[in-house]
Amino acid sequence: MLVDFELIKRAQGGDSAAFNEIVLAYRKRILGTITRLIARPEDVEDVAQEVFLRLYFSLDQLRTPEVFEPWLYRLTVNAAYDYLRKQRRRQEYRMSDLSEQQMIMADALAGGRADQDQREASKTRETVDALLGAVSEADRILLVLKELDGLSLKELEKIYNINENALKVRLFRARQRVLKAFEGVTKRKEPAKAG
């Protein structure tokens, strides 16, 4: 826990300074999680603010401060779900905004600016984002929390309110689907290299 129970209780009682402290303690962690969940840096702060906004208006529903962290993660997951659902609807429209030539130019410009390390990092990000984009929002969120945020099974149990076995099954299936997408990406790259 990054904050003590007393602070949570004070925030529940309507203490704005206490709420401010909670946000300051958790915002970086939440920003990190959302960055990995939604993969659009320009919208990360907006979604994070939505999480804390929901926290502010639902804090009085939290019965025990001990479950604060899983609860905050649940709010984060829900906000990310909502964002990804909206995003999926907008995606086709956005892609049609840019012509192929414009996309090539933008890529070249970005590539020219970045140094080798940054290019590698952005390539990794793009690959993982593409893999996670190929599976459902539910799989994406579960894998991000487990594999990228490093949450334990116990923590995930509390967030998802399901038992360990059910969680393991869901994780296994999600990983299998990502692996399948990974195979697809590798297959597409191999003929390109050969050609």
Q: Given the rule CB under 8 A, which residues bind another protein? A: 20, 23-24, 27-29, 31-32, 35-36, 41, 44-45, 48-49, 52-53, 56-57, 120-122, 124-125, 127-128, 131, 147-148, 150, 175, 178-179, 182-183, 186
Helix, strand, coil content of the chain in percent (nearest 5):
85, 0, 15
Of residues 151 and 161, the one with the C-beta less far from another protein: 151
To the nearest whole angstrom, how small is the minimum distance from the Cβ of residue 52 to another protein? Answer: 6
Non-local CB neighbours of 9 within 8 Å, separated by 6+ positions: 65
Of residues 52 and 83, the one with the C-beta less far from another protein: 52
Of residues 88 and 119, the one with the C-beta less far from another protein: 119
To the nearest whole angstrom, how small is the minimum distance from the Cβ of residue 14 to another protein? Answer: 12
Of residues 49 and 78, the one with the C-beta less far from another protein: 49
- The residue count for the chain: 195
To the nearest whole angstrom, how small is the minimum distance from the Cβ of residue 96 to another protein? Answer: 28
Residue 163 near residue 157, CB atoms below 8 Å: yes
C-alpha 151/C-alpha 65 separation (Å) is: 19
Q: What is the Rg, in whole angstroms, of the alpha carbon atoms belonging to the chain?
A: 20
Of residues 129 and 157, the one with the C-beta less far from another protein: 129
Of residues 104 and 168, the one with the C-beta less far from another protein: 168
Where do the H-state alpha helices sit in 62-148? 68-97, 100-113, 116-133, 137-143
Q: Residue 22 corresponds to which amino acid? A: I
To the nearest whole angstrom, how small is the minimum distance from the Cβ of residue 41 to another protein? Answer: 7
**CA 40: distance to chain centroid?**
10
To the nearest whole angstrom, how small is the minimum distance from the Cβ of residue 183 to another protein? Answer: 6
- CA dihedral sign, ordered 31, 34, 40, 44: negative
C-alpha 118/C-alpha 141 separation (Å) is: 25
To the nearest whole angstrom, how small is the minimum distance from the Cβ of residue 135 to another protein? Answer: 12
